[in-house]
Structure 1
Amino acid sequence: MQTDRIATPFGRRPMTLALVKAQFESASIKKHKSADKWKIYRDACDARTLLGLRDRALAVLNALLSFYPETNLTEGANLIVFPSNAQLSARANGIAGTTLRENLALLVEAGLIHRNDSPNGKRYARKGRDGTIETAFGFNLAPLLARSEELAIMAQRVADENQRLKVVKEKITIERRDIRKLISAAIEEGASGDWQRVEEQFIAVVSRLRNARAAGDLAALLDELTLLREGVVNMLEAQVLSANSDANGIEIRQHIQNSNTEPLNELEPSSRNELGRKPSQAPRRQGEPIKSFPLGMVVRACPQISDYAPGGRIDQWRDMMAAAVVVRSMLGVSPSAYQQACEIMGPENAATVIACILERGGHINSAGGYLRDLTARAERGEFSLGPMLMALMRGAASAQGKSA
């Protein structure tokens, strides 16, 4: 049963334009539309965080739906229920009167029900001679029917986000385990390197996990752990490769004692060593492609690049590369230098380097010369993106900690 008028609330309850808009939307339900009321209710429960509802409000909604006699909400039918507060309280697990009224108001504000108040504010129905309801005053369930598809989409969004959060937490657990055991093995077996500093960095990241709840915070910490693990692996790999190459002429013990490994915090791309490797201890063989990193990680490490993307957002690598062209010109990097970087590093990695240079612009005198130097090192197999990104992410985390 639809109405051609806007229902205003009884007494001192105010009328808002949002309520007017919601009633217009409910009045335009597709003809003959029908949906299972309990399916809609489950979707509302799943989407409660997006709707801003608490469990008590959902218990009240459950009670309201229990007063509607049919399983399906159908367009054209009387969708108004009119239980008293005492009846509602009994079906909502004995909820107190004040709490009941608060949660009814929340359901109205969330746009899941409408008030259809009588002249005196009482809830009742007037029936015709044949026993059918002609007029009813109470709570209109039409918004649930009108928004059934929207609620289903919201519920799926929450489910997808929960799944992503679960995957991130699982990856964090694996990264923590790998880093912890690799550091322990390196220390116990006397591998060269400043492992105490590595351990301190690991502990610092793990300590921030205790207060991380949002998916974005956990994803950022996962990126840091991933980069830290790759740094640890690269330090160990460099020693293994160096030991193998020198095994014919130099005793391994002598090599370990004489190695001069730089601390892991020397992550600036202009340093001679990256993650404890000398140029002769290349992180990859000459000619091998540079490893690229996820776009989300790059954007978190280099947020300024988004200002130069189409629409001010970077959603895909195409946006990143378009922004990099703009920044390249702004920084005075010649087209030939950037083209050479794209050919040697790959277009995605070249764009990432430009984003890193933009973040460190105040510390770099000649962006073009710096890019050419990195490109030459990449061609010799002496450059990787991980140290640059990790340094930027650590700097951002440190600045955020100071501001907090």
Structure 2
Amino acid sequence: MKKMSQTGFGQSAEVCTSADKWALLATLTEAAPDIGLNHRTLSVLKALLSFFPDRILPEDAGAAVVFPSNRSLSLRLNGMPESTLRRHLATLVTQGIVSRQDGPNRKRFARRYGIPYGFDLSPLARTAQSLRQAADSARERAAHLTALRDRLALLRARLLEDERLSPDHPLMEQIRLTLRRKAVETTLRNLIEHVEPLLSAPPPRPCDTAKMSGRDAQNERHIQSTNKNKSVNKAMPLELAQEETEIPLENVLRHCHEYKSYFPEATQSWHGVCSVSDQLHGMLGITRPLYMRAQAKLGIKATAAVILAMLERMPDIRKPAAYFQGLIQRFDEGCLNLNAMFGQQKGRKLSADNFWRR
């Protein structure tokens, strides 16, 4: 046993150089897939490196020995189970990243004389050159895969742009799923070789549309006449709609006072009324598209007046958005009198239900 305790372990290095342990760990991380290491094994190696006091790892056998217990390693690894820790330590030893020499009682400890029992990290320094080569190869392979993925994505975009294949085509769906996953080089090359001939062929000619006859049958041309006196065209300018639904400003200011609770400094002009309406319609639950639709039909000023009138009657309106949409529908049907909402006659109750037939 005394003879065994004095026997050195590890491989002798022909050239004695030094290397930064953290730089070696970063290099090993890039080359890990080729070596057969995962991130958990690298975490265990990082914990072992943290027990070595110096930053530079020597290449001499037995010159970089650490001897932490499994409990200490587990605590430094945020409570990794001991069974998992032993498995990853065995992987490091099997791959030749570290060397292991236990004491006679299968423990790891330091000795006053001779090499301590524990894990020797010098093999990591001795394999630095091969690790750098493996990392360079991994970077080149990753760059090559990225170029293939970019080329395949470009080909797919060209197919969609030229309308050679529809988005729901099986080949397009296969390309989409491949680009979302971590595909190997062979799969990417096969797809590229299959897609490139499709782009080299002439683009498909658009099919000629048959001239439709004038018969009143299904799927034939449709002629619709619009009564312009009954509704307002959606494409009509806002200025024209405002002229058709003009409301006196005095009536609006005389009958609408509730908005002053929110905007006490609002100007007594159409500009101020429209500005207040732009900020109030969202508070009433009226969406912006519906509000803009009303402006296109009723006009900007009339829409603002309707919003202020609705605010006066909010306790009686359960669904303001539906109520507002109903007003627009009444206007399209030609049975809405906006001026009557503001009680032109003295003593008339303010109500949006006053409508008339045109």
Q: What TM-score, normalized by structure 2, do the two folds share? A: 0.51
Of all paired residues, the percent bearing the same amino acid is 29
2:19 match: 35
Deviation at 1:100, TM superposition (A): 0.5
- Compare 107-116 and 198-207 and name the one that shifted more: 198-207
Q: For 2:117, what is the secondary structure of its paired residue? A: strand
Equivalent residues of 2:100, 2:120 under 8 A apart = yes
1:364 match: none
Matching residue's letter, 1:102: R
2:331 match: none
1:122 matched to 2:122: no
Distance 1:95 1:201 in 2: 46
1:221 match: 191
Q: For 1:139, what is the secondary structure of its paired residue? A: strand
1:182 match: 162
1:147 to 127, 130, 136: 127
For the structure 1 residues 61 and 153, does the alpha-carbon distance in structure 2 shift closer, same or farther, using more than 3 Å as the test? same
1:46 matched to 2:30: yes
Deviation at 1:199, TM superposition (A): 8.4
Distance 2:49 2:168 in 1: 57
Deviation at 1:67, TM superposition (A): 0.8
Deviation at 1:206, TM superposition (A): 2.9
Cα deviation code 1:191-211 (max 9, x no counterpart): xxxx78x98574475377367
1:109 match: 94
Q: What TM-score, normalized by structure 1, do the two folds share? A: 0.45
2:57 to 73, 92, 116: 73
- Listed as ranges, the matches of 1:8-27 within 5 Å are 23=10, 26-27=11-12
2:175 match: 206
- Listed as ranges, the matches of 1:337-352 within 5 Å are none
Equivalent residues of 1:62, 1:92 under 8 A apart = no
Q: For 2:116, what is the secondary structure of its paired residue? A: strand
- Listed as ranges, the matches of 1:326-337 within 5 Å are none
Pairs aligned (count): 202
Equivalent residues of 2:19, 2:125 under 8 A apart = yes
For the structure 1 residues 202 and 54, does the alpha-carbon distance in structure 2 shift closer, same or farther, using more than 3 Å as the test? closer
For the structure 1 residues 205 and 85, does the alpha-carbon distance in structure 2 shift closer, same or farther, using more than 3 Å as the test? closer
Deviation at 1:94, TM superposition (A): 1.9
Equivalent residues of 2:155, 2:195 under 8 A apart = yes
Cα deviation code 1:223-260 (max 9, x no counterpart): 222222222xx346xx8xxxxxxxxxxxxx9xxxxxxx
For the structure 1 residues 179 and 114, does the alpha-carbon distance in structure 2 shift closer, same or farther, using more than 3 Å as the test? same
Distance 1:44 1:135 in 2: 26
Deviation at 1:107, TM superposition (A): 0.9
Q: Which blocks of at least 5 consecutive residues in structure 1 are unaligned?
A: 8-22, 129-133, 187-194, 240-252, 254-404
1:84 match: 69
- Listed as ranges, the matches of 1:280-319 within 5 Å are none
Distance 1:35 1:44 in 2: 13
For the structure 1 residues 4 and 146, does the alpha-carbon distance in structure 2 shift closer, same or farther, using more than 3 Å as the test? farther
For the structure 1 residues 211 and 46, does the alpha-carbon distance in structure 2 shift closer, same or farther, using more than 3 Å as the test? closer
1:136 matched to 2:113: no
Distance 1:33 1:4 in 2: 25
For the structure 1 residues 199 and 125, does the alpha-carbon distance in structure 2 shift closer, same or farther, using more than 3 Å as the test? closer
1:158 matched to 2:174: no
Deviation at 1:212, TM superposition (A): 6.8
Equivalent residues of 1:60, 1:103 under 8 A apart = yes
Q: Which blocks of at least 5 consecutive residues in structure 2 are unaligned?
A: 209-358
Deviation at 1:93, TM superposition (A): 2.2
Equivalent residues of 1:30, 1:75 under 8 A apart = no
Equivalent residues of 1:205, 1:224 under 8 A apart = no
Q: For 2:115, what is the secondary structure of its paired residue? A: strand
Q: For 2:193, what is the secondary structure of its paired residue? A: helix
1:276 match: none
For the structure 1 residues 214 and 69, does the alpha-carbon distance in structure 2 shift closer, same or farther, using more than 3 Å as the test? same
Aligned residues: CA RMSD? 3.1
Q: For 1:153, what is the secondary structure of its paired residue? A: helix
Distance 1:49 1:4 in 2: 37
